[in-house]
Structure 1
Amino acid sequence: MSEPVILVATMVAKPGQEELVEKTLTAALPAVHAEPGCLVYELHRKAGTTGEFVMIEKWASQEALGAHMKGAALREIGIALAQALAGPPDMAFLDALPAGDRDAGAV
């Protein structure tokens, strides 16, 4: 059985595009949540900013993440935000180091 994949993706909206970015990402949440292998897909805004968005993701496997990356929801996000982001998303893959209480010590 493969290990879950944890990804933190940060997207920065161009000035004046913050609302479009937030609405687009929020609208995609139900479709992504329904994708096979989606364990966590949470949208956040960096505190103190209006245009820096952080998606915390947990996928059941690398294969599930790969399917998501090629899927309709992400394709639609890419099309909608092609001109709205200051640059490509910054993607950080994380290796879990669980400790303590399993529920409280891991995403």
Structure 2
Amino acid sequence: MKGLSVRWPLAQAPSGAEQELRDYVADSSHARFSGMSGLRFKTWRMREGEWFEGTYVFVSDEARAEFEAGFRPGADDSPVSKIVGAGPESIEPFEVVAIAEGWDGFSSSARG
């Protein structure tokens, strides 16, 4: 499986950006990626005041490459970039060696 992480800096983000990011994920981003062809799953991670990250796992090199090719050119104008006031500080492809699902499984909820 092929992964991609996209990370934005939050150190200089406007006040309230973290809550705005939570709301953006819950109100539109989660639905956009739910059921997306070629995507196994996406997680949204954040360390308040430090960074916000989208982590994607795709079914193939081709699916990741297609997504990345469509995302990179407009990354600085993406909704997250507008919320935090900066483009991504890193866009990194990676390999997913394995995934273990625990007894309690995954929750796909966008709100706690």
CA–CA distance in structure 1, aligned partners of residues 85 and 64 of structure 2:
24
Indicate the residue corresponding to 1:25 in structure 2. 25
Distance 1:103 1:21, change over 3 A: closer
Q: After superposition, give the CA deviation of every residue in 1:68-101 in whole Å (9 maximum; x if it has no partner).
A: 4538xx98x81x3443224322222213455xxx
Contact between 2:3 and 2:64, CA under 8 Å: does it hold in 1?
no
Contact between 2:57 and 2:96, CA under 8 Å: does it hold in 1?
no
CA–CA distance in structure 1, aligned partners of residues 3 and 92 of structure 2:
8
Indicate the residue corresponding to 2:86 in structure 1. 87
CA–CA distance in structure 1, aligned partners of residues 5 and 80 of structure 2:
18
Deviation at 1:10, TM superposition (A): 1.4
TM-score by length of 2: 0.60
Distance 1:50 1:23, change over 3 A: farther
Instruction: Give the number of equivalent residue pairs.
Output: 92
Secondary structure at the residue paired with 1:54?
Answer: strand
The unaligned stretches of length 5 or more in structure 1 are: none
Indicate the residue corresponding to 1:10 in structure 2. 7
RMSD (CA atoms): 3.0
> How is 1:49-88 mapped onto 2 (pairs within 5 angstroms)?
49-50=48-49, 52-69=51-68, 70=70, 78=78, 80-88=79-87
Contact between 2:8 and 2:52, CA under 8 Å: does it hold in 1?
yes
TM-score by length of 1: 0.62
